[in-house]
Amino acid sequence: MKIFVAKLSSKTTSDDLKTLFERFGKVTNVKIIMDHETKRSKCYGFVDMPNDSEAYVAVVELNEMEFQGNIINVKKSKPQIVAKRQ
């Protein structure tokens, strides 16, 4: 399951996020989204967990909890829509 995590601290790293989610199970990928121009965090990211049951528990337990000074939002990611080039 791909999980969307928002309202992160600008100082949160991928390793920080991985450590947080690994309490609930295996994490296969973590990505903090960065601004291309400023190279600073956009304060949101994605976590991939292969076991849906573990991922669901992580979403429920971590949503609206305090992490590194911020109340984070955690939810199942919506599928990305890719526009076709003409």
Domain boundaries, the chain: 2-76
8 A C-beta contact, residue 51 and residue 42: no
2-76 — its CATH code? 3.30.70.330
Rounded to an integer, what is the distance from CA 37 to the centroid of its chain? 21
| pLDDT interval class at 80 (50, 70, 90) | confident
pLDDT tens for each residue of 8-65:
999 999 999 999 999 999 999 999 999 999 999 999 999 999 999 999 999 999 999 9
The structure's pTM equals 0.88
The single residue listed with the structure tokens 């526009």 is 83
Binning the chain into helix, strand and coil, the percentages to the nearest 5 are 25, 30, 45
CA distance 33 to 41: 6
- Residues linked to residue 5 through DSSP beta bridges, in sequence order: 45, 74
